[in-house]
Structure 1
Amino acid sequence: MGCATTSVKIISIIINAVYVLSALVAIGWIAFNADLMSKDFVNFTFTTCSIIVLFALLCIFAAICESAVLTKTSAIFILVLIIIQIACTYWVPHLHKFRNPYMAWQTSDMDILQQTFKCCGKIGAMDYVELNEMVPLSCYLNFQRTSDNLFDKGCNAKISSFYENEKEHLFVVSCLLIASEIIRCAFAAILVLRFNKKQRSMKC
């Protein structure tokens, strides 16, 4: 039984370590792309990933110390997290809104959007022409004003396409997270049973 318990402990520690690294990578990615996402979504992701890191470290600590109480606490948290993750899989994509080019039209943000998404105007470069304005350098690749470098698509279409792709990515990632959380919860439950059994045998 001792050898089996050790194997489960090691696997549990490895899984949670990978989880910690994945959450940290997610935090870094969101931080790098924060200007493309809503503030609420960024804050929600930072908070969720931080909690995931905290409890994954708790799982590692509980496994190393062979603490049934801490392991049980971690298992309960993971179970709650699974429920929240399932809910977020359906709700968050509808709340996840990227910068709207129509709102950025009157601000310097439009230049950022045009360079980031390689687009021009709301519908296209003609948006500027119709206003008798010069097409800004941000509508050109590497800010080089030549016809070959002009971005031919409007930002509305580009951002809408990007948003739809991101929703698909979020769904896939959420499903993978749910699957990994179920595995973590199963290992935590097994460890609780083995730690309790070991403690009972030591008292005899």
Structure 2
Amino acid sequence: MKTCMHHRAKRCGYLGMALLLAAALALPAAAHAINQDEKTGKTDVTATVEDPNAPSYTVEIPAKIDFGTFAKPTSNQPEEVSVSFNVGVTAVSNLGAQKVAVRVHDTANRQTFMLAASRTPANVLEYDIEHSGASIKANDYVIPGGYQLFAASMVTTISYDAVLDKAQLFEKDESYNDAYTGTLTFYAQLVTS
């Protein structure tokens, strides 16, 4: 009996602490204190009014591109690993004569797409991004943003391939057996046709 009462009291104590914490979190944080020494205080009041006719768009980019796990090649013959992904304008409104231009670049080295080894970052794997079998590097490199993927004035989704040639690993030493990561930066901007 004593044990049951002890557990019940303990549960009530935890419940009470949880209720007090919830009540404290529900109160807004005071930006300024008013007291006997400081009898007045000021609070900023703001509002944002959006133009209902302002252009707007949404671009969907891949969350992750994963080349998977593979062994080093036994020859220097091209052997590509390819991963398809989509980039799309999923919503547009009030664009008028403008288009949404979508661009991409490698975050670490803007004009070369690379993955760096986690243990030895100087060890890199280069890859390319292709559309319909052609490298996007043939497109203009625009600052800001990078290689032009496309410009659209309506909802559009385009498929691309990230392509890595395993031949670049041929006869590399054991330090190349590693996990590799990189980051793509996508950029969207309204442009005039």
Structure-1-length-normalised TM-score? 0.26
More helix by share: 1
